[in-house]
Structure 1
Amino acid sequence: MVPFLYKIAEVFYRQYGAELYTHTFVFPNRRAGIFFQKYLAEIAGKPVFSPTVMTIQELFALLSPYQPADKIQLLVMLYGHFVKVSHSEESFDEFLYWGEMLLNDFSDVDKHLVDARQLFRNIRDLRSLETDKSYLTDKQIEAIRRFWTNFMPVENNKTKQHFLETWEVLLELYTAFRAELHEKQYAYEGMIFREVAERAKAKETLTPEFTDIVFVGLNALTPAETALLDYLKNTGAADFYWDYDFPMIRDEQNKASLWVKDNLRRFPSRFDVKDREEKPKTTIEVIGIPSGVGQAKQVTRILSDLIRTKEISDPDEAIDTAIILPDENLLLPVLYSIPEEIGKINVTMGYGLSHSSVSSLTEHIADLQRNVRTTNGGPGFYYRFVLSILNHPLIDLSAKKEAEALKKHILDNNRIVVPVSELQTCSLFRLIFAPVVRQEQVADYLKDILTEVYNSLIGEKHGENATPNDTRPIDLEREFIVQYYKSVTRLQDTLQGVKELAVDTYFRLLKRLAQGLNVAFSGEPLSGLQIMGVLETRVLDFENLILLSMNEGVYPLKKPVNSFIPFTLRKGFGLPTYEYQDSIYAYHFYRMISRAKRVYMLYDSRAEEMQTGEVSRYFYQLKYLYNDFFDIRERVMTYDVSAPQVSPVSVAKTPAVIQKLEAFREGGDRYLSASSVNNYINCPLQFYFTTIENLSEETEVQESVESDVFGTIFHKLMEVIYNRYKGKTVTPDILTTLAKDDAYLTRLIEQAFAEYYFKQKENPQSLQGQIYLIGEILRSYVKQTLKTDQQFTPFDYIDSEHRFKRTYRVNDGLSVNFKGSIDRIDRVGDRYRVIDYKSGKGEVNFKDVQQLFDASKANRPYQILQVLLYSYFYLQERGGISLSPAIYYLRSIFGDLSPDVTQNKQLMTDLSLVMEEFLPLLNHCLEEMFDPSIPFSQTRNEMHCRWCPFRDVCGK
């Protein structure tokens, strides 16, 4: 394979030799110029002066008196004129989207030398448009008439009225905007092109600093470019070379041929550079892979095979092999998938700054600053945005210990709004968690943060435990930070004259700026494996090509043209449409593969959501129209993702597990509880996770009052209310007075919320919003509980939250530690009551004791088992008393049901009768729990799995 640029270099060196430096070569991109100079050096075989090399854009800029303006600067200027011309009250933030669209439209109008007055003429004034059509072709006139016909008939249409109002100001806006740019000697790209083209058409002297100009590898010329090339051709200063030497590109049925005939006729070449040798068939292998990252992994296999078969003769200098990425998001997966044998890699495409870690950190910071709140009279930040920053990878690298401590503080204290004073625990956090109120502060605020993070990464790179492989990601992050810092500085300079810009708008502008920037990877461009985007392949040839993301809609890209100018008008005035983009993509594809020996086309075969899993149309064109020129092979890779049958999960009582169980025996330091016994009955495996291993769900900040907190607060309220009467007799008058004392209840509720919800025990505060409503619900439950208690008055109040720790003897070889907390104990007459509060609802009646231990029952009355166990241990303390258990279900407390537990509707007055049947079943349960031969297995009743936090662990 002889590359096209090599043939150009060969022909010109043969003609001009050492005098070639007097020529100027113009290419579509810089990369082509670098490769041209490489080939020229190889052909010369000795040092020679290089000719001047530039891009077509650089040539126009050189011939124009204008300086290219910054995009943000252009948008600010355009917005100023828009407000003046339209008298709109639209904010700069709202204008941004339309502003970018207008800039693109104005640039298209200028590059294509469209008469802006005719294009933007008031639609009502049709007659004046009809009078002058001399500059339009018949097809263009027909397209424009079709637009007027479709647009005008319907009256009183709001959408068309808004369109009309916008169009009425476009000409004035375009004229005023260009006038200011001209006065300041700045311009957008289209304006530069138009200025040069109009002087060329007027045959003015453009006075280039060179005379022999060679245009190489151009294709889709705009009218402005055509005008300049015509001018230079007529002066005898230019020569032209087109990379059209392929049947597919010359095929008039192929969209790639759109400009071929016209360019060859209008701008002929001085020398013949056609390849006379017959080219062997190109091998094309099309591989469907159901994953984006899977494509990157397939690159590893392809490169390894090419190295093994010597198709890549020198892996350290694999310059004849290129990986093409239509989707830049696959760049990093591909970089991590390059085999170790490949010595050098040259990335000639940029990585989007908006995909970097520093960009996502800035977005989290923007969310933080948009949601500054007030707490306890000072500024604070919503915890979710704080946690997003603390969990960010860059923060993890820069201040890991401080971030972990801060996260623990937020969770432990349930901080929904975190005060600034609690966040500023280190220098980095003092910078980040500082409220920004004015747009002028944002740039310095961000630059200080970026500087601090950058310096932290330098310390991480040179730390004691750092190794070269570990520091490569850090080097990338530092480069991204540097580029982002430059973007912030650039935006700061651009917005110096802008007033009344919101902080949120500033962050939106910065995000838009980052979306349009790529971070260029440094490397040696003339050696190593080449990784590039589609546009970087222009005029370059490689023997081995690996194209990823060859899906329809990705390559060619399916992207609508965002424009104020409707399609029919764009077509009528010769402006680019989607057909124009299709032709460009088709040319790049066919030119790219035509000289290659081997082409690998990888595509994502998944069909899900908006993704069809369809291979690009170009493959079907190759397969059915041009198969004589290619050896085409197809295959689809699949992954076996069928889920194996889930085996039952159980934990054997190994010596290590037995050792942990021993801690619950007499003399150990751990205790069983009524809840843990219920857990074991429901699911032994869940008991193992929660009680033996102490595993639990990850703690989260509670924005609302969950059931556990609700129950805890109710328990606290009842404890404080009744503790005043400990050891005393409670009468109906006392309960009535308590229920009516709303001020007292409010104070208690606020104190309980401060302790258990806000985690600020010393700082009770008035409840507001949703928390206030929950407080009122608690108030109603307390009052209803007091009302329920009146039916038992007078009664003696014995104790609240009565805690016990006892050893329970199961059999001669097993005694177990138990502990618990009894919510309330009182005495009605001669009968003691052990009372348990439950925030839900349930049963107070049971048929037989066996029912309490039967895990197969969907609605096993586990609450009764718990209160019976409490009653038994209290009876062991007091002995010789008449005792009956009771359960206060808050959700049922407004009914007429008694809270006393009954068996077959009979009140239990002698607990010892129930215990005769209860204790043997309890003993059996505990013996099984400690039996080394019985593993902790899954429950058979899947009703117990519905809310189990370990459901994913055991596969239920």
Structure 2
Amino acid sequence: MISFITKVLLDLQKQNVNFSDITFVLPSRRAGVFLRKELSNIINKTSFSPTIISIESFVEELSQLKALTNTELLFQLYNSYIELTPKEEQEPFDVFSKWGQILLQDFNEIDRHLIPQKNIFEYLSAIKDLDHWSLNPNPTDVVNNYIKFWNKLYPFYKHFSKSLINQKKGYQGLIYREAVENLETYIQSCSKRHVFAGFNALNTAEETIIQELLQNDLAAIYWDIDKIFMDSSYHDAGLFTRKHKENWKYFQKNSFNWKESNYSTLKNINIFGVPKAIGQAKTIGNILNSLSEKDIKNTAVVLGDENLLLPTLNSIPKHINAINVTMGFPLNSIPLAALFEKVFSVQINNTNNYYHKDVIDILKDQYLSTVFNNNYTQKIVDIINTNNIIYLSKEKLLSLSLNSEQNDIINIIFSNWNNNPTLAIQNSFKIIQLIKNKLIEDRKSNQLSLEYLYRFNVLFNEIDRLNKKYNTLTNIRSLYNIYKELLSSETLDFQGEPLQGLQIMGMLESRVLDFETVIITNVNEGVLPSGKTNNSFIPFDVKVEKNLPTYKEKDAVYTYHFYHLLQRAKNVYILYNTEIDTLLGGEKSRFISQLELEGIHQINHQIISPEVPNYQPQLLEVKKSEALVNQIKRLANSGFSPSSLTSYIRNPIDFYNQKILGVKDVEEAEENVAANTLGTVVHNTLEALYLPLMGRILTVDDIKNLIPKIEKYITKFFKDEYKEGDITKGKNLIVFEIAKRYVLNFLNFEIDAIKSGNEIKIIALEEKIEGIKINIEGLNFDIDLKGTVDRIDTCNGMTRIIDYKTGKVEQTNVTVVNWEDLPTDYKKYSKSFQVLMYAYMLSKKTALKFPVEAGIISFKNLSEGFIKFAKKEKPGNSKKDTNITEDTLSDFEVELKKLITEICNPNIPFTEKEV
């Protein structure tokens, strides 16, 4: 393969030109590196190197203006805005920056295409005037301000461009316009010959400059275009080149260099549909693994999305040692960016108390973890979770710190920055310095992290310089916007040998370059090409009328770049995402469809799916070792409770994790009161209210006297259980009121029962039962039972064992048909099992007078009253027996012993149940 650059040099050599007297002007600096390499292969004698320069640098030299960064231009534009706008109408910088960016882009396009400025701005103003009913005698303030804005665009432009020129500085469009103004002077003083190579889409300023140099015999131009694209009247890859050939007077008398026939040569084109970005990165690795070492040296991986860079680097086969990355790693993808994102987020809210999840996120950040050890962070997490602290103050955090370094970082991050951008910048420097001091203790292991810190230090230095120079940042939000603007444009550049090994680049870096093997990723609509994005104040029809580029031209640019990569390549791999994502690109690109419809090449189109192992989920099984059996014996000796046994019925693995291993659920702060907290509060409140009434027959007055005490006890027990959590607003206030209503409804229910003639006497509240021995044949160790009964009373002489439930319970939940089902079906019989076990334990502890009743009072179903345990003879039979007798407990005892025997049997493993 003879590359385009080589062909240009050979043609010039054939003309016996002196390369030392030539100025090569190329679309990018990177192309110049490859040109210099090819030149060294062609020239066989010692000579001075020609001038090799990018088009941007060439135009900058012509204009005598220095290009400013986009961020500094925004500050300059804001200065012009402030000077031309009455004080009462001025917007703060953070609001201005949102539309100021768009205005800068429009100024840039207007100047690059040499549009008469006054003409287009007055034209736009007139259009907007008509759009908003200029003949309306009583326009609204909104309409007036809108029209005023459009009328000010030309004054803004004049003031802004004039102030920049006075400083010998400019934005790209202004530099191009000034270059055209200076062109005649340059031509008169110029002696060198210029060679323009590899251009495609040229703005009006570039066209003017190149044509003038061509007409004055000071330049030659070489186009890198294929005959197929040029000869087609509709193919977008040749859109611009066709226009240049047709419209430039130079080509009426001079030859057009060149139309080639490389695209139609035999190519191995593979199109792979791959799910998601990571799938594409892994596919790149597989393709590279199949290439020889010789092929790798002439291979380019072109990433349609820069976010794919890191996954791609991690997927490159280990045997590929030489890699050259030209696109740079985005600074906003570095983990350190996440830390400053969190810090700015808590400070923008401008508060002295910080949301607990934000605090934990910051303390657990990988960079701050060098300052905050795990003990401190875990200590804070435990205190937050235990006390339900939703918001923390700086003082609280300081009270728990372990050393002066921790004090310093807490004082910096969690002090109120008072919405002061200068203080925010100073504190950002301090954060960087504190992290640096810890990292340099092990400099060798932390080289990359220290490089990250350095780049962020440079970034904040630039923000500090801009803030001091222009003094327009008035709050932390405006500072944050500038930080994000700079962060999005900064990259961490890789060091490597640009002419060796595998080349990884973005689409624009591929201009003028040729490779035998090309891998292109993210070839999806919305990515390649990017689609109908229109971030501009200038309407589409005005752009068309004034010959300004629209999305049509932008798509044509990417079409050219895409097909240029294919022109001289022999092996092409095109990857696209099969998973449609409206944010990151839709279906496969039109480029793929066009390739397939052209019928020029044989194309291998495959959908690649990741290899999914044939995994058959298996239920977890834990065999009972001798140590495990001993642990079960200890648990049996300490006592089985109804809740522990029903947890085994629900899922033996849960029982194993919770009761044997002692694994607890992860404790988290309750932002909203949890159901178990509500239940505890209601239980404790009823115990406190009824405790003075123990041992006596209840009267209506007794219960009525309890009602005024409800709020006091509910508040007390919420404070005990919910600690420092706030129950005065939001969902928690609703739960607080629900708790009050539950208790009040229960008291009213009790009053109604007494009024109906029922004689109720409280026997016990929250009765703890322990040490109940049970002998099971075949088990030669002690087995105890334990539990706590919510309430024991008598109603008309009948003993009742009552369990409170804040959830909804119905009669079917406490009705048993077959005793054998009791220890097997958790959903149906867990509540029956619990109340029967309470009755069983009480019968062992005291001499119960049979029959007794056991059941549930459901606060969500209070209309059902006391829902009694019932035994049905047959499933369809409505006859139920609610009396619990010795025979009932004897039948229950059989199932209880079976269940405990199974738990203790060393030959029966703990087996997970299917959910």
TM-score when normalising by structure 1: 0.82
The answer to whether residue 891 in structure 2 is matched with residue 928 in structure 1 is no
Q: What runs of 5+ residues in structure 1 fail to find an aligned partner?
A: 127-146, 313-317, 374-378, 464-473, 940-953
RMSD: 3.9
The answer to whether residue 154 in structure 2 is matched with residue 171 in structure 1 is yes
Which of 729, 732, 738 aligns to 1:777? It is 738
| Aligned-residue offset at 1:491 | 2.2
Q: Partner amino acid for 2:209?
A: L
1:911-954 deviation line (CA, Å, top 9, x unaligned): 53431222112112222333344444455xxxxxxxxxxxxxx5
The answer to whether residue 714 in structure 2 is matched with residue 749 in structure 1 is yes
1:787-837 deviation line (CA, Å, top 9, x unaligned): 555637774554535252444222252543333223344577977654432
- SS of corresponding position for 1:665: helix
1:755-776 deviation line (CA, Å, top 9, x unaligned): 211258xxxx884444334333
Which of 545, 549, 554 aligns to 2:522? It is 549
Distance (Å, rounded) in 1 between the aligned partners of 2:327 and 2:537: 31
Are the equivalent residues in 2 in contact too, given 1:321–1:529 (CA < 8 A)?
yes
- Tell me the residue number matched to 2:267: 282
- Tell me the residue number matched to 2:220: 239
| Aligned-residue offset at 1:189 | 1.2
Residues 870 and 148 of structure 1: is their aligned pair in 2 closer, same or farther, counting only changes over 3 Å? Answer: closer
| Aligned-residue offset at 1:865 | 2.6
1:359-406 deviation line (CA, Å, top 9, x unaligned): 233222233223455xxxxx2211232333345454557646143443
Distance (Å, rounded) in 1 between the aligned partners of 2:195 and 2:703: 102
More deviation, 681-690/552-561:
681-690
Residues 209 and 383 of structure 1: is their aligned pair in 2 closer, same or farther, counting only changes over 3 Å? Answer: farther
- Tell me the residue number matched to 1:143: none
- Tell me the residue number matched to 1:433: 414
- Tell me the residue number matched to 1:188: 171
- Tell me the residue number matched to 2:94: 93
- SS of corresponding position for 2:199: coil
Distance (Å, rounded) in 2 between the aligned partners of 1:110 and 1:612: 31
- Tell me the residue number matched to 2:549: 576
The answer to whether residue 321 in structure 2 is matched with residue 353 in structure 1 is no
Count of residues in Structure 1 that have an aligned counterpart in Structure 2: 884
Residues 460 and 811 of structure 1: is their aligned pair in 2 closer, same or farther, counting only changes over 3 Å? Answer: farther
More deviation, 524-533/611-620:
611-620
| Percent identity over paired residues | 27
Are the equivalent residues in 1 in contact too, given 2:621–2:909 (CA < 8 A)?
yes
1:654-710 deviation line (CA, Å, top 9, x unaligned): 233x64244233686654210122233344444444434444543332111111011
Distance (Å, rounded) in 2 between the aligned partners of 1:349 and 1:341: 22
- Tell me the residue number matched to 2:606: 635
The answer to whether residue 787 in structure 2 is matched with residue 838 in structure 1 is no
Distance (Å, rounded) in 1 between the aligned partners of 2:197 and 2:711: 84
- Tell me the residue number matched to 2:321: 343
Residues 260 and 788 of structure 1: is their aligned pair in 2 closer, same or farther, counting only changes over 3 Å? Answer: closer
Residues 633 and 837 of structure 1: is their aligned pair in 2 closer, same or farther, counting only changes over 3 Å? Answer: closer
1:150-209 deviation line (CA, Å, top 9, x unaligned): 998998999998764542222222222223323333321111111121232xx3457878
Are the equivalent residues in 2 in contact too, given 1:825–1:832 (CA < 8 A)?
yes
The answer to whether residue 537 in structure 2 is matched with residue 564 in structure 1 is yes
Distance (Å, rounded) in 2 between the aligned partners of 1:689 and 1:800: 27
The answer to whether residue 40 in structure 2 is matched with residue 68 in structure 1 is no
Distance (Å, rounded) in 1 between the aligned partners of 2:521 and 2:727: 61
- Tell me the residue number matched to 1:490: 462
Residues 716 and 292 of structure 1: is their aligned pair in 2 closer, same or farther, counting only changes over 3 Å? Answer: same
- SS of corresponding position for 1:339: coil
- SS of corresponding position for 1:523: coil
- Tell me the residue number matched to 2:875: none
Residues 292 and 395 of structure 1: is their aligned pair in 2 closer, same or farther, counting only changes over 3 Å? Answer: same
More deviation, 45-54/206-215:
206-215
Which of 259, 283, 290 aligns to 1:298? It is 283
Distance (Å, rounded) in 2 between the aligned partners of 1:185 and 1:150: 39
Are the equivalent residues in 1 in contact too, given 2:62–2:186 (CA < 8 A)?
no
Residues 840 and 319 of structure 1: is their aligned pair in 2 closer, same or farther, counting only changes over 3 Å? Answer: same
- SS of corresponding position for 2:789: strand
Residues 83 and 920 of structure 1: is their aligned pair in 2 closer, same or farther, counting only changes over 3 Å? Answer: same
| Aligned-residue offset at 1:545 | 1.1
Q: Partner amino acid for 1:869?
A: M
- Tell me the residue number matched to 1:408: 382
Q: What runs of 5+ residues in structure 2 fail to find an aligned partner?
A: 873-878
1:282-315 deviation line (CA, Å, top 9, x unaligned): 33222222332222222222222221xx652xxx
| Aligned-residue offset at 1:2 | 1.8
Distance (Å, rounded) in 2 between the aligned partners of 1:331 and 1:676: 52
The answer to whether residue 723 in structure 2 is matched with residue 758 in structure 1 is yes
Distance (Å, rounded) in 2 between the aligned partners of 1:914 and 1:626: 85
Distance (Å, rounded) in 1 between the aligned partners of 2:733 and 2:261: 87
Distance (Å, rounded) in 2 between the aligned partners of 1:695 and 1:210: 84
Q: Partner amino acid for 1:706?
A: A
1:835-880 deviation line (CA, Å, top 9, x unaligned): 4322123257955574694367786353343133223323333346
| Aligned-residue offset at 1:902 | 6.5
- Counterparts of residues 372-387 of structure 1 (less than 5 Å): 373=351, 379-387=352-360
1:463-521 deviation line (CA, Å, top 9, x unaligned): 6xxxxxxxxxx655544443333223222322334457332332233223322333322
Are the equivalent residues in 2 in contact too, given 1:664–1:671 (CA < 8 A)?
no
1:240-270 deviation line (CA, Å, top 9, x unaligned): 3322365434544322223325545556799
The answer to whether residue 776 in structure 2 is matched with residue 810 in structure 1 is yes
Distance (Å, rounded) in 2 between the aligned partners of 1:666 and 1:348: 66
Distance (Å, rounded) in 1 between the aligned partners of 2:677 and 2:367: 35
Distance (Å, rounded) in 2 between the aligned partners of 1:733 and 1:585: 86
Which of 660, 676, 681 aligns to 2:644? It is 676
- Tell me the residue number matched to 1:704: 672
- Tell me the residue number matched to 1:113: 114
- Counterparts of residues 366-377 of structure 1 (less than 5 Å): 366-371=344-349, 373=351
Residues 667 and 280 of structure 1: is their aligned pair in 2 closer, same or farther, counting only changes over 3 Å? Answer: closer
Q: Partner amino acid for 1:353?
A: L
- Tell me the residue number matched to 2:340: 362
- Tell me the residue number matched to 2:194: 213
Are the equivalent residues in 2 in contact too, given 1:240–1:267 (CA < 8 A)?
no
- SS of corresponding position for 2:518: strand
Q: Partner amino acid for 2:386?
A: D
Are the equivalent residues in 1 in contact too, given 2:770–2:786 (CA < 8 A)?
yes
Are the equivalent residues in 1 in contact too, given 2:32–2:53 (CA < 8 A)?
yes
Residues 157 and 541 of structure 1: is their aligned pair in 2 closer, same or farther, counting only changes over 3 Å? Answer: farther
Are the equivalent residues in 1 in contact too, given 2:71–2:485 (CA < 8 A)?
no
TM-score when normalising by structure 2: 0.86
Q: Partner amino acid for 2:735?
A: I
Distance (Å, rounded) in 1 between the aligned partners of 2:864 and 2:563: 84
More deviation, 22-31/873-882:
873-882
Which of 821, 825, 828 aligns to 2:788? It is 821
- Tell me the residue number matched to 2:876: none
Residues 840 and 851 of structure 1: is their aligned pair in 2 closer, same or farther, counting only changes over 3 Å? Answer: farther
Distance (Å, rounded) in 2 between the aligned partners of 1:586 and 1:909: 85
Are the equivalent residues in 1 in contact too, given 2:791–2:802 (CA < 8 A)?
yes
- Counterparts of residues 146-157 of structure 1 (less than 5 Å): none
Q: Partner amino acid for 1:58?
A: S
The answer to whether residue 478 in structure 2 is matched with residue 505 in structure 1 is yes
Q: Partner amino acid for 2:283?
A: Q
Are the equivalent residues in 2 in contact too, given 1:841–1:889 (CA < 8 A)?
no
- SS of corresponding position for 2:300: strand
| Aligned-residue offset at 1:61 | 1.8
Q: Partner amino acid for 1:673?
A: S
Distance (Å, rounded) in 2 between the aligned partners of 1:666 and 1:188: 79
Residues 167 and 686 of structure 1: is their aligned pair in 2 closer, same or farther, counting only changes over 3 Å? Answer: same
Which of 618, 624, 633 aligns to 1:655? It is 624
The answer to whether residue 303 in structure 2 is matched with residue 329 in structure 1 is no
